[in-house]
Chains A and B, each alone.
Chain A
Amino acid sequence: MLTWGRESIKDHTTAVLELVKNSYDAGATIVVVGIRASGSATHNASITISDDGAGMSWIDVEEHWLRLGYSAKRKETFTRTGRRKTGEKGVGRISADRLGCVLEMRSQSDSQNTVGLAVDWRDFEHPGRDLESVSVQELSSSGFLVPRPSIWNEKQQTYDPPPAPIPNSSEKTGTELIIKELRQNWESRDVAELQRMLALLTSPFDTVKDFQIRIENDVAIEYNGVVPSPLWTHPAIEGEFELRSDGMVVGSVKHWRQDAGERVTTAVSIPFGQLVHPKPRGVSPSASINSVSCLGPLSVKLLFYPQRTDTSGTQSLQLSELREFLRMNAGIRVYRDGIRVPPYGDQGRPEGDWLGLGDRKARNPAGPGRPDFRVSPYQLAGAIFIGRDSNPELIDTSGREGLVSGAAFGMMRSFLLGCLNRLESQYHEDFLARTTEPEIQQLSPRGTVDELRIRLFDLASTIKRAEETLPGLGINRSQDVIEQLASTTLSLNNAEKAFEELITQSGVSRTLATIGIAAATFGHETQSGLDSVKAILGTVKILLNNEDPIDEVLSELDKAIREAEKVAAWGGFALGRVRRDRRVRRNTDIAALIEEILSEMKPALDASTIEIISKLSPVKARVFAMDIECVVINLLTNAYYFSMHSSNLRRIAIAVRSKEVLGRSGFELVVGDSGPGVEVGNRERIWNPLFTTKTNEEGKEVGTGLGLALVNAVVMDAKGMRTIDADPTLGGARFTIWLPEFGS
């Protein structure tokens, strides 16, 4: 048992942390960690953990502390001062064994008698020895000194020298552990690491104010004194978010506003379902996947340090100091009831970047000038605050570290990513406001060709006018110019044809990408349909072999035909999208095109009980059919995904009508859904490639982030317009696209 316990504790610094947690659970206001190991062989060195907590009586020690696996904390979950206790596994004393072979424990509770005992853990290791025969020695001298907290000196902005400890008494309770015959040497780097871990043991954001940790050691004296919390100098942007039990996310974002010339606070109030979109599964009225009932209320604090020299409005450190600070403290940590849950946020460990920010950034390295900007893991510090009682589904693993991966953990991760998206969106806006360079309008390929054609025409017109104005003068020279122009025009015509071909290929690529995206969204229905067809036909074969009644056989064959038709419809849907005639610009009945798509998607929509409300006015326009299909299919696929988040109303509305804008004829397409809607801060970002708010059940970002980017590409190519707002009828998002008719 002891060997199991010893091996379950990762290293000696973790063992010290466990003992410090015990002091916290005892309601201590001060715990002193003393290490005497300088220049000493391990058998002379010692570690002392002393605190001013509630202490223990003999009964506490005999019936509780000495019983492995027992924890009073399972029964009494709060200290007398109202602190939620942390350790519930009852093996913290194993930590003492992990550190050294001999333990002397002295403890004073508010009863009269002091407890003093010594244990040599090696006595428990003799094979075959009866545990009951192992004796625990009572100490003749059980007096000890109870430490007192250091006082903060406001003038000096530092702590005064520690006050002298006082002898234990029934009025001055506490516990002292002296661990001898250490199992490991202590080096300077161990003390440094210990100080770093102790600094992060309690929340650095001042949620725990009445617990001080002090180091007194002779190995690396520069680490002596009260363990400091990390000094969180002003970040470029700071977000605080709280998830309430009613599903609302409230909070604020503090950031620098160029126009205000100061740091401002922007309030946040968003439904959870708009902030983040975890993958929808089957929902029941009582437990929707989108409800936060499995998670419970929690709060988040995020600080972003871009590590740039232009951190305007911040009391920034020197860049080198900032980098060093972030090297030690970057990462998102988890604090439960004010005490850290390792290893989340630990630098250099795989679980350190548990939100996958590194991968997220690698997939999309856009800078802050782009709406799809992502932070890097080393630019971010912060924490999420949970509680054993408020978040009972966030449970410990059986080891010493981490939480069990489950629905609640995945939801927590999704929530954090949603908060981060909000912060990134705000930083991007602030960055644009600070940047004075004009935005360069990028022309699409079609735009480039059109631009070139116009310039060429202008050039030809200028030359022709010159010829008419100056007849006979320089005619030979202008003839040369015209011949050169003709040659250039031929080259440009060839280039234009190549461009057109590229544009067509790009259109086909968009269509194929659209089919791919739709397949990823609807594909499981097709796969299920195929499985059903095979199963039914297999059943038919068995019924025939077993000479079952023919009417049953026929009934099953009817089912197989129906299921096969559904699968064939999907195949027809995919093949129909890349037909040659779709790649030619022609006069197209837009309403009929949309109806064709709707009828092909109907089986998948029916399977998920999604109702379509369509209002398709007769519209004919000269367009590439595959471009219109790309827009419609991607908007419908998006609407399908987010309608599934709704447990009550699952509806998609689609409408098309003719509309003229600024003298240009065209048509307007509107797709609305009953999903959670699009948060205002994301309404520009979602058009960018690779941007997604979808997360899977583990809370990791999923989705290609390409569907709406493809829609945007078509709209931009056609010089159309697109907007997003809230659907007033269905309650979700409403996408409005206007496309001009070619030649208008």
Chain B
Amino acid sequence: MPTIAVIDDRKPQRETLCRLIKSTLRKLKRDDQWTVIGDAPPSDEEDVLQWLDECDATVLITDWKLNEGASGRRAVNYQADRLIREIRNKRPAFPIFVVTGFKEMAHPHLSHVEGLFSRNDFTTTVDTILPQMLRAGQRRYDEQRLLLSKLETLARSVASGEATVDERERLQGLQGYFQTDLPTIINLDGVLSEFESLQRRADALRKKIQARLDKPTRRRT
């Protein structure tokens, strides 16, 4: 099910935003089609993309000021600008919205997000904004489903040993995109080849033994 992921290092604000979105989804009768994830975000930047993929997120709403405290007292170790840049590098079309109490300060730094709102603005116009987010997220979701379907088809093809070189390359590309580790699929092809080779040898040996058994023995007189 497609998901809206909320990142904010402050739990009360994260909670408020999640409640607001869930309530509005119910009002729009879309709560059976979308979920909202407001768990504590990964503390390391490197884990965020995987976290988004794992919870099937197709929309991200994030605060701007994320790690303002002294070290040892921060919930996360990344800034929002940097996080957004990283996501954009790997997922250029991922819908990202920023909801923050520092909208004016954030504005010069955020030219590449789908929307930037103050908390109050977001709350008062949530009935309008949320459907836009859902549309953007649904597009993203459909694209992801298509890619996953392709991934599955290619993986099956490689596993069966029928994949062309081009198909293998495309599978590796998708593997990188999803950051999915599929070495077993690639190696399975090798295992199958080896199995077939062993099978042929076993077959040949069997024939040899059979031939030997069928050969009449000479009796000594």
Binding site for B on A (CB under 8 A): 281-287, 524, 527-529, 531-532, 534-536, 538-539, 542-543, 546, 548, 552, 555-556, 559, 607-610, 646-650
Closest to A281 in B: B79
Known: A532-B101, A535-B119, A535-B123. A559 touches B16 (CB 8 A): yes
Query: Among the listed stretches B34-42, B61-69, B137-145, which one makes contact with chain A, having 4 or more residues with CB under 8 Å of it?
Result: B61-69
CB of B50 closer than 8 Å to a CB of A: no
Contacts of B12 in A (CB 8 A): 559
CB of B20 closer than 8 Å to a CB of A: yes
Query: Among the listed stretches B21-29, B164-172, B187-195, which one makes contact with chain A, having 4 or more residues with CB under 8 Å of it?
Result: B21-29
Closest to B27 in A: A546
Give which listed residue, A286, A546, A548, A650, contacts B70 with CB less than 8 A: A650
Give which listed residue, A285, A531, A535, A650, contacts B77 with CB less than 8 A: A285
CB of B199 closer than 8 Å to a CB of A: no
B161 to chain A, nearest CB (A): 41
Contact: A283 with B67, CB < 8 Å?
Answer: yes
CB of B89 closer than 8 Å to a CB of A: no
Contact: A532 with B119, CB < 8 Å?
Answer: yes
CB of B175 closer than 8 Å to a CB of A: no
Tell me the complex Cα distance, A546–B124, Å: 14
Tell me the complex Cα distance, A539–B23, Å: 9
Closest to A651 in B: B70
Contact: A531 with B19, CB < 8 Å?
Answer: no
Give which listed residue, A543, A607, A647, A648, contacts B23 with CB less than 8 A: A543
CB of B132 closer than 8 Å to a CB of A: no
Contact: B119 with A534, CB < 8 Å?
Answer: yes
Contacts of B124 in A (CB 8 A): 538
Residues 53-102 (chain B) with a chain A CB within 8 angstroms: 65-74, 77-79, 82, 101-102
Contacts of A538 in B (CB 8 A): 120, 123-124
A21 to chain B, nearest CB (A): 32
Tell me the complex Cα distance, A281–B82, Å: 13
Tell me the complex Cα distance, A545–B71, Å: 41
Known: A539-B16, A539-B19. A282 touches B119 (CB 8 A): no
Contacts of B105 in A (CB 8 A): 524
Most chain A CB inside 10 Å of its own CB: which residue of B23, B70, B119: B70
Tell me the complex Cα distance, A281–B80, Å: 12
Contact: A542 with B102, CB < 8 Å?
Answer: no
A652 to chain B, nearest CB (A): 12
Tell me the complex Cα distance, A556–B103, Å: 22
Tell me the complex Cα distance, A538–B131, Å: 18
Binding site for A on B (CB under 8 A): 12-13, 15-16, 19-20, 23-24, 26-27, 65-74, 77-79, 82, 101-103, 105, 118-120, 122-124, 126
Contact: A534 with B77, CB < 8 Å?
Answer: no
What 13 new A-B contacts, CB under 8 Å, besides A524-B102, A538-B124, A539-B16?
Answer: A282-B79, A283-B67, A524-B105, A527-B102, A528-B101, A529-B101, A531-B118, A531-B120, A532-B13, A534-B120, A546-B27, A648-B70, A649-B70
Known: A284-B77, A524-B102. A535 touches B120 (CB 8 A): yes
Closest to B20 in A: A539
Closest to A608 in B: B68
Contacts of A283 in B (CB 8 A): 67
Tell me the complex Cα distance, A4–B134, Å: 43
Contact: B20 with A542, CB < 8 Å?
Answer: yes
Contact: B79 with A284, CB < 8 Å?
Answer: yes
Known: A282-B65, A286-B77. A531 touches B101 (CB 8 A): yes
Tell me the complex Cα distance, A531–B102, Å: 9
B10 to chain A, nearest CB (A): 10
Tell me the complex Cα distance, A556–B78, Å: 28
Contact: A534 with B123, CB < 8 Å?
Answer: yes
* 26 contacts across the A-B interface (CB closer than 8 A): A282-B66, A282-B79, A283-B67, A284-B67, A284-B77, A284-B82, A524-B105, A528-B102, A531-B118, A531-B119, A532-B13, A535-B16, A535-B120, A535-B122, A538-B120, A539-B123, A542-B23, A546-B24, A546-B27, A548-B26, A556-B19, A559-B16, A608-B68, A609-B69, A609-B73, A609-B74
Known: A559-B12, A559-B16. A548 touches B23 (CB 8 A): yes
Tell me the complex Cα distance, A282–B100, Å: 14
A386 to chain B, nearest CB (A): 24
Closest to A643 in B: B70
Contact: A543 with B19, CB < 8 Å?
Answer: yes
Tell me the complex Cα distance, A743–B184, Å: 88
Contacts of B122 in A (CB 8 A): 535
Contact: B118 with A556, CB < 8 Å?
Answer: no
Contacts of A287 in B (CB 8 A): 82
B204 to chain A, nearest CB (A): 56
Contact: B16 with A536, CB < 8 Å?
Answer: yes
Tell me the complex Cα distance, A556–B26, Å: 18
Known: A532-B101, A534-B120. A609 touches B70 (CB 8 A): yes
Give which listed residue, B73, B101, B126, contacts A527 with CB less than 8 A: B101
Tell me the complex Cα distance, A555–B101, Å: 20
Tell me the complex Cα distance, A538–B126, Å: 10
Tell me the complex Cα distance, A546–B77, Å: 37
B108 to chain A, nearest CB (A): 8
Contacts of A608 in B (CB 8 A): 68-69
Most chain A CB inside 10 Å of its own CB: which residue of B71, B73, B82, B105: B71
Tell me the complex Cα distance, A670–B26, Å: 57
Give which listed residue, B82, B101, B126, contacts A542 with CB less than 8 A: B126
A410 to chain B, nearest CB (A): 12
Contact: A556 with B16, CB < 8 Å?
Answer: yes
Closest to B24 in A: A542
Contacts of A609 in B (CB 8 A): 68-70, 73-74
Contact: B68 with A546, CB < 8 Å?
Answer: no
Tell me the complex Cα distance, A546–B119, Å: 19
A540 to chain B, nearest CB (A): 9
Contacts of A535 in B (CB 8 A): 16, 118-120, 122-123
Contacts of A548 in B (CB 8 A): 19, 23, 26
Contact: A282 with B118, CB < 8 Å?
Answer: no
B12 to chain A, nearest CB (A): 5
Contacts of A281 in B (CB 8 A): 79
B187 to chain A, nearest CB (A): 36
Contacts of B70 in A (CB 8 A): 609-610, 646-650
Contacts of A527 in B (CB 8 A): 101-102
Contact: B71 with A647, CB < 8 Å?
Answer: yes
B124 to chain A, nearest CB (A): 6
Contact: A285 with B120, CB < 8 Å?
Answer: no
Contact: A648 with B71, CB < 8 Å?
Answer: yes
Tell me the complex Cα distance, A1–B24, Å: 53
B139 to chain A, nearest CB (A): 26
Contacts of B82 in A (CB 8 A): 284, 287
Contacts of B20 in A (CB 8 A): 539, 542-543
Contacts of A285 in B (CB 8 A): 71, 77
Contacts of A543 in B (CB 8 A): 19-20, 23
Contacts of B73 in A (CB 8 A): 609
A554 to chain B, nearest CB (A): 12
Contact: B16 with A282, CB < 8 Å?
Answer: no
Contact: A542 with B71, CB < 8 Å?
Answer: no
A612 to chain B, nearest CB (A): 13
Contacts of A552 in B (CB 8 A): 19
Closest to A646 in B: B70
Tell me the complex Cα distance, A706–B82, Å: 35
Contacts of A531 in B (CB 8 A): 101, 103, 118-120
Contacts of B23 in A (CB 8 A): 539, 542-543, 546, 548
A544 to chain B, nearest CB (A): 10
Tell me the complex Cα distance, A285–B74, Å: 10
Contacts of B65 in A (CB 8 A): 282
Contacts of B15 in A (CB 8 A): 555
Closest to A647 in B: B71
Contacts of A556 in B (CB 8 A): 16, 19
Contact: B101 with A282, CB < 8 Å?
Answer: no
